[in-house]
Structure 1
Amino acid sequence: MKKRLFVICPGRGSYTKESLGYLKNITGSFRQIVDDFDERRRELNYPTISELDNSKTFKTNVHTKGEHASPLIYTCSAWDYHQINKEDFEVVAIAGNSMGWYLTLAMSQALDYRSAYTLIQTMGSMMKDKLIGGQVIYPIVDDQWHVDATKKALVFQLTNTLNQQPDTQCFLSIELGGYLVIAGNDLAIKKLLKELPSDGDFPFQLINHGAFHTPLLKDVSEKAFNTINAEIFHQPKVPIIDGRGHIWHPYSTDVLDLYEYTLGHQVTEPYDFTASVITGLKEFAPDHIVLLGPGNSLGGSIGQILVQTKWHGITSKSDFSIQQKEHPFLISMGDSQQKKLVV
């Protein structure tokens, strides 16, 4: 019997200096896909996917910009998904974090590879001339990954207070396991970084990120509707779970609704990654969660969600670490050793 996989697609920030060379061993038909992406980027006078990945050094002012980072991450994730051994494993559901929703559409075949590239390149380039606001990430758990209600309340109290001040706008952007991502205009970001209590490396501003999943991107949403045609969307071949925890099933999905959610609600309203993972666990009872590469930046957040749900008796960070060493439930394809378990 095939093992059941719940696949999770990463978002922006997952390709780091450790990811350089991720695509160096591409073979077969997928090489043609990358060649196509490269050619399309040459036409825009952008560095190609291959050039970005083959760079000798990771350049923050290049590799983290939306017009480069988004298609690069997409290509890496698609290559990982392409390598999953479909004879031994069945993908029963797919979800993603933030930009990972676009990747989810691609992996589920709600968009073909070329159309997904068009969507991802277009959305990733919307703020190439000037970012709209930014994002700050902040932890709301203790050392053993239990949610600290006081910390969580403090973040929301601060955002409410800041929104009462002149020219300051901030909103919940992403619920990310043991973290909250707050987005806002430039003034709000400065105040959040100053007024949130120091907690290790946090608060931390995400590099080259705009105010994703907030009303500040209403104009971006409208531009997307005027740029992206609904005809490129199809019903998914695999159930997909969006940023509300809603499941889009094959055969029953209304394609126009999927298009409108993707370019509307998903762009301007909070993205609840926590809810999407919990839905995938409870509704599809997977044998494993598989996190596509590049990187493993979502590994901690997924572990925190497993603790929150007490999944398979995991009630703390320590429990999660022990299980990952003995019988990993979460398989990160960005980890070369764990990748071998599913290819």
Structure 2
Amino acid sequence: MRTAVVICPGRGTYNKGELGYLARHHADKTEMLAGFDAERRRKGQEELASLDGAPAYSVARHTRGDNASGLIYAATCFDFLAIDRTAVDIVAVTGNSMGWYSALACAGALSPQAGFTVVNTMGTLMQEHLIGGQIVYPVVGEDWADDDARRRELLALVAGIHAPPERHLALSIDLGGMLVLAGDAAGLAAFEAAVPPVQGRFPMRLANHAAFHTALQEPVAGKGRALLGPDLFGEPDLPLIDGRGAIRWPHASDPATLRDYTLGEQVIASYDFTRAVLTAAREFAPDLFIITGPGATLGGAVAQSLIRANWRDMRTKADFQRLQETDPVIVSMGLDEQRRSVTASG
């Protein structure tokens, strides 16, 4: 039996190619999906079944925080349940950004329905307030070789831009070979003006994204705490790695502390996805990193994080590709040919 760390993706992973994902892969989860949609109907929101079954993908409709969060959570939760536990021993769970909420449910600290309540509430609050925005910029070249000097240089630039009181800019997510930065309009514009365009698409603004994981989100965090009570949270059944790289162990994790982090620091402070992956690799030494769907965009960030750790002697993209071809270490369930290797039904 292979051991695996499961990684739950965040916002930006349900895109045009994922339209119909729930119907395609999870027609057997209609009862659970109906429970999610009943909650959305009570709040006057469009049902996930309708969004997933739309005749065409719409950026304006499908990337809204109040819609995208629910779609991604449902896909992640259902994919997790589809993993063949007779062939795969899940030793830990983590996630990227919004994927932390999904990880809580997959690890058992939230029930599937409670996890949906948390995700849908926070996604809706983010959309209603839409404070600031996010931008992505690489710290590695196209060979993915680690470049600590470049990382320090860019973070120093961010700190300098943030220094004047009229501008806000901070590290939102350390995402492998990428920095996801967040701030207000002035801070984002200043960064765009200060860095050269690279790789034909960076710096890249993220549509319908707010200044996640920064102090600008304190109003959202406060409203989340007011709406999401402590009764939703419990202890995890599986080890759970948070956005600081800390492990929340079964039978040794206080639900109140877990809630405080989830609706506090996790919302308003930088999310270190790279460290979470490094912790997973070093503490659990899994055979596989399984990235649930939707989408397959998180695979590069996981590989880049492993390269930073010299995991299995990987130092470049070419090293990762050679290993992936001979002895795969990453399985993206958003890719049909890879999901078949970890699910009983394919």
Q: After TM superposition, is the score higher than 0.5?
A: yes
Decide whether the 8 Å contact of 1:177 with 1:274 is kept in 2.
yes
Structure 2 counterpart of 1:309: 309
SS at match of 1:128: helix
- 2:320 corresponds to 1:320: yes
Structure 2 counterpart of 1:55: 54
Structure 1 counterpart of 2:309, one-letter code? T
Structure 1 counterpart of 2:18: 19
Moved more, 152-161 or 244-253: 152-161
Matches of 2:276 and 2:190 in 1, distance apart?
30
Structure 1 counterpart of 2:89: 90
- 2:198 corresponds to 1:224: no
- 2:73 corresponds to 1:74: yes
TM-score by length of 2: 0.96
Cα deviation for residue 326 of structure 1 reads 2.4
Cα deviation for residue 128 of structure 1 reads 2.5
Decide whether the 8 Å contact of 1:7 with 1:94 is kept in 2.
yes
Aligned-residue identity in percent? 38
Runs of 4+ in 1 over 3 A off after TM superposition: none
Cα deviation for residue 54 of structure 1 reads 1.2
- Relative to 1, partners in 2 of residues 1:147 and 1:315: Cα closer, same or farther, differing over 3 Å? closer
Decide whether the 8 Å contact of 1:136 with 1:192 is kept in 2.
no
Matches of 1:323 and 1:164 in 2, distance apart?
43
Cα deviation for residue 315 of structure 1 reads 1.9
- Per-residue Cα deviation, 1:7-51 (whole angstroms, up to 9, x for no partner): 0000000111000111114244x2200011122222223221111
Structure 2 counterpart of 1:43: 42
Matches of 2:148 and 2:2 in 1, distance apart?
36
Structure 2 counterpart of 1:211: 211
Structure 2 counterpart of 1:178: 177
Decide whether the 8 Å contact of 2:129 with 2:220 is kept in 1.
no
Structure 1 counterpart of 2:116: 117
- 2:287 corresponds to 1:287: yes
Matches of 2:315 and 2:157 in 1, distance apart?
29
Cα deviation for residue 311 of structure 1 reads 1.2
Q: How many residues align structurally?
A: 341
- Per-residue Cα deviation, 1:206-231 (whole angstroms, up to 9, x for no partner): 11111111111111111111111011
Matches of 1:163 and 1:192 in 2, distance apart?
10
Structure 2 counterpart of 1:266: 266
SS at match of 1:104: helix
- Per-residue Cα deviation, 1:244-288 (whole angstroms, up to 9, x for no partner): 000000000011110101001101111000000000111111010
1:142-157 pair list within 5 angstroms: 142-157=141-156
Decide whether the 8 Å contact of 1:221 with 1:267 is kept in 2.
yes
Cα deviation for residue 312 of structure 1 reads 1.6
Cα deviation for residue 243 of structure 1 reads 0.4
Decide whether the 8 Å contact of 1:174 with 1:182 is kept in 2.
yes
Matches of 1:51 and 1:39 in 2, distance apart?
13
Decide whether the 8 Å contact of 1:103 with 1:116 is kept in 2.
yes
Structure 2 counterpart of 1:332: 332
Matches of 1:128 and 1:272 in 2, distance apart?
23
Structure 2 counterpart of 1:185, one-letter code? D
1:218-257 pair list within 5 angstroms: 218-257=218-257
SS at match of 1:243: coil
Matches of 2:11 and 2:263 in 1, distance apart?
17
Cα deviation for residue 155 of structure 1 reads 1.7
Structure 2 counterpart of 1:196: 195
Structure 2 counterpart of 1:3, one-letter code? R
Structure 2 counterpart of 1:34: 33
Matches of 1:127 and 1:8 in 2, distance apart?
23
Matches of 1:235 and 1:254 in 2, distance apart?
7
Matches of 1:225 and 1:341 in 2, distance apart?
40
Cα deviation for residue 166 of structure 1 reads 4.7
Matches of 2:128 and 2:247 in 1, distance apart?
35
SS at match of 1:159: helix
Decide whether the 8 Å contact of 2:10 with 2:96 is kept in 1.
yes
Structure 2 counterpart of 1:174, one-letter code? I
Decide whether the 8 Å contact of 2:146 with 2:315 is kept in 1.
no
Matches of 1:74 and 1:233 in 2, distance apart?
17
Matches of 2:163 and 2:266 in 1, distance apart?
26
TM-score by length of 1: 0.96
- 2:32 corresponds to 1:10: no
Matches of 1:255 and 1:284 in 2, distance apart?
23
> What are structure 1's unaligned runs of at least 5 residues?
none
